[in-house]
Every structure is written in C-alpha cells, then in structure tokens.
Amino acid sequence: VEREPSQWYVGGTMAAFSGPPPFGWVQRIDLETLEPLAASPELPCGEHVWCGSILVHADGSILSVNGSYLHRLDPDDLSVLVERRLPVDRSHNGLL
C-alpha cells in the first residue's frame, strides 16, 4: 500500500508447516530497489498461515490483519503500537 508519495509498504506471512509457529510481517520498501527500509517485528498470527492484508489508517498508522490478530504499527519504524487478538480463532483475510 502507498501511505505518502514514495512510501510503500508490503506484508505477508512466513509459512511454518513444521518447526516454529508462523508469523506475519510488514516492511516499508524502497520503490526503486525494493529493499526494506524498515521491518516490523514478527507479528503473531495465532498459528494461522494466511496472507492477511494491510492498510493505511487516516491517522497515518499502518494496520495489519493476519491470521487471528490485528496490529497497529508505527509508520516510521513499524514497531507495534497496539496488538489485538480477534474474537474468532480463525484466519481473517482482510480489513474491508
């Protein structure tokens, strides 16, 4: 998603079919090189492997839904501002 001109964010889930549990992630990327400029910590997803989605809130923060969790992230360093486990233990696919 684009937050401001030249501020692009991508997100996804690291699949874990064996070993450690899966986790979500968000990165702010350089549009020319596609290299990460900032990365979130590993975001819990409640053992669900699903792509999830991200959006830019009107206040400028980044929202990420992944598995059974919703995160509000700082747009600069992608630190977690708020983490909420969603009330239904299943994959949630979006924020619409």
CATH number for the domain spanning 66: value is 2.40.10
Q: Sign of the CA dihedral 59, 91, 78, 84?
A: positive
Whether residue 96 lies inside any domain: the answer is no
Whether residue 12 lies inside any domain: the answer is yes
Give the Cα separation of 5 and 14 in Å (integer). 28
Domain span including residue 36: 8-85
Q: How far is CA 85 from the centre of its chain?
A: 14
pLDDT in tens for each of the 96 residues of the chain? 999 999 999 998 887 677 788 899 999 999 999 999 999 999 998 877 777 899 999 999 999 998 889 999 999 999 999 999 988 877 776 765
